[in-house]
Every structure is written in C-alpha cells, then in structure tokens.
Amino acid sequence: MKITLKNIKHSEFASHETNCFQADIYIAGKPFACVSNDGVGASDMHYKHPKNPTNNFHADLRKIDEQLKADYPESYGLDGIVSDVLVDYLVTKDVKKLMSRNMIVFEKGEKGYYKYGKKKYNITKERMGWFNNQMWQKFKDNWVCINQMPIAEAVAYFKSN
C-alpha cells in the first residue's frame, strides 16, 4: 500500500510534542483523506478528502489502519506511516536547502559533516576539480560529498550519518 502526502503545510514554531502540519493523504495515487496535527502530542486527525468518493470513510480508515499495523507493526498504523513520510519530506527539504548554499562533506566512519560555503570558497561547476582536490588533500580517500549524489541517495546518507 503506497501512501503519499501532498499539499503539505508544516509549522516549525507550533510543533511541540509532535509535528504541527496538515496534508492530503493519497493511497495508491488516489486522494483518501485530509490529515492534520496541532503539534501538542495528540494523534493525527483524519477527515474525508473532498475527492474521495467512498460513503464509508470511517470504516475504510479503520481497515487501512489495521492493514498497516499488520504489514508494519513498528509503524503504529496510519499515524506512524504519515509521520515517517512527513519526516522524510522535511529532511529532504532541509538537505536540499543546505546543499543549495554549501558543499556537504562527511568523513567516512564519522558522525557529523563539514559545510563549505559555495560563495565563500567560490565553488562552481567549473571549480569542482579544485574542490575535489582540496578534499582529497584534507581527507585522502576518506570522504564523501553528498552534493555529488542523486538527492534520494544524499538524503539517505545524511540521515544515516
């Protein structure tokens, strides 16, 4: 069961115990529900999406939640899956923003990263050879620059390190 979120609105300042957000839940590419959380620790609130033709929304919601709990016991059902998808979206957004202004370098086997400002170091596409040479001199073969990876791979590497 493929669950995606669209029309995500997130409020960092209002997120306390949980993420404060609202979004549309799509299941297998079709609109199912509108979901929101006020960010103070309660469960998500689900409402029938205006484009969802079902007449049994609450029964469908229970069925989907039970199926997700059976398929992914560690996920806590629909709320857990929505939370995971939302966090992936937020981390991806943050990594893209970070990489737009900086070269992000990890030393292999270490936690944390080094940030080299593209403006400060005049790092352009034409100067990538220079940048790679500088990193090799500093770290030898023991470094990874996530800017040189596809975004999904860069986000996964960022999350794991």
- Over residues 80-92, the mean pLDDT reads 95
The residues that bridge with 115 in the sheet, in sequence order, are 104
Query: In angstroms, rounded to a whole number, what is the distance separating the alpha carbons of residues 16 and 143?
Result: 36
Query: In angstroms, rounded to a whole number, what is the distance separating the alpha carbons of residues 81 and 3?
Result: 8
Tens digit of each residue's pLDDT (9 = 90 or more) over 93-147: 999 999 999 999 999 888 899 999 999 999 998 999 999 999 999 999 899 999 9
pLDDT of residue 76: 83
pLDDT at 74 over 90: no
Query: In angstroms, rounded to a whole number, what is the distance separating the alpha carbons of residues 161 and 159?
Result: 6
Query: In angstroms, rounded to a whole number, what is the distance separating the alpha carbons of residues 124 and 112?
Result: 24
**Pairing state between β 20-27 and 102-107:** unpaired
Q: Which residue has the tokens 């939640």?
A: 65
Cα dihedral angle (32, 38, 42, 45), rounded to 10 degrees?
A: -20
Tens digit of each residue's pLDDT (9 = 90 or more) over 31-66: 999 999 999 988 999 999 999 999 999 999 999 999
Q: Record the pTM.
A: 0.86
